[in-house]
Chain A
Amino acid sequence: ETGVTQTPRHLVMGMTNKKSLKCEQHLGHNAMYWYKQSAKKPLELMFVYSLEERVENNSVPSRFSPECPNSSHLFLHLHTLQPEDSALYLCASSQVVQGYIDTQYFGPGTRLTVL
């Protein structure tokens, strides 16, 4: 059983809705990540937080807004999404030492469908 949990597991939303995805890690790690996994494409890194500071924003549209209130929690706030944003959103955590990543541990993901 992974030490990274995500809620909700499934989400269906309209293009005008506002929703949030939640991730929590119980591993004592100091870095957390959001990834997007679309069909037939490699996992795409969206955001990286290290020591609660955003250190990577991978050219993600502003309709996705991350929040990291502490080292154990990560949110992804969603608003005015497009149907092409439908995907599996994965959260991960790891221990980063002097800038180098140890093994990343992934949550089960949130399957998002935008109508």
Chain B
Amino acid sequence: KQEVTQIPAALSVPEGENLVLNCSFTDSAIYNLQWFRQDPGKGLTSLLLIQSSQREQTSGRLNASLDKSSGRSTLYIAASQPGDSATYLCAVSGYGGATNKLIFGTGTLLAVQP
């Protein structure tokens, strides 16, 4: 059974710092991995999707990497801003079945202090 873990559970940094969020998964047979952002009381916004054949994806100040063999992904945020404050979730999608489902981690709550 796939399990997704995110460390740390919470993180507070001063504005301008570069930071890394970690995600690990127990079954390396994944189809893709996604990073989402969730603002308080809101739905999820997809940030980056990495296919299993890819090593990384970049969007603006965000860079996500994937190491399938070790069951790890990282989300790198450069030059953090107060507007980056949110909960960041990673989720993996596996192979097989009529419709594959996403398995989510519990998230990392990020606070960027001005």
Interface residues of A (CB under 8 A from B): 2, 4, 6, 31, 33, 40-43, 45, 48, 50, 55-56, 88, 90, 92, 96, 99-109, 111
Contacts and interface: CB of A to CB of B under 8 A. Distances in A.
A99 B107 CA distance: 26
B105 A101 contact: no
B8 to A, nearest CB: 15
Given A42-B104, A42-B106, A103-B34, A90 B98 contact: no
A24 B9 CA distance: 32
A106 B43 CA distance: 6
Interface string B80-107: 0000000001010101111111111111
Given A43-B104, A101-B93, A31 B99 contact: yes
B40 to A, nearest CB: 10
Contacts of A104: 34, 44, 46, 102
Most buried by B among A41, A42, A99: A42
Q: Is the interface of A mostly helix, strand, loop or mixed?
A: strand
20 contacts: A2-B45, A4-B43, A41-B106, A50-B99, A55-B99, A56-B99, A90-B43, A96-B99, A99-B96, A99-B98, A99-B99, A100-B93, A100-B95, A101-B32, A101-B102, A103-B34, A104-B44, A106-B36, A106-B43, A111-B41
A103 B102 CA distance: 10
Contacts of B101: 33, 45, 48, 56, 101
A99 B93 CA distance: 11
B18 to A, nearest CB: 26
A42 B49 CA distance: 19
Contacts of A45: 101-102
B38 to A, nearest CB: 9
A74 to B, nearest CB: 14
A25 to B, nearest CB: 12
Contact of A103 (B4, B46, B107): B46
B102 A108 contact: no
A4 to B, nearest CB: 7
Pairs A-B, 7 closest by C-beta atoms: A106-B43, A106-B44, A43-B104, A55-B98, A108-B43, A42-B104, A50-B99
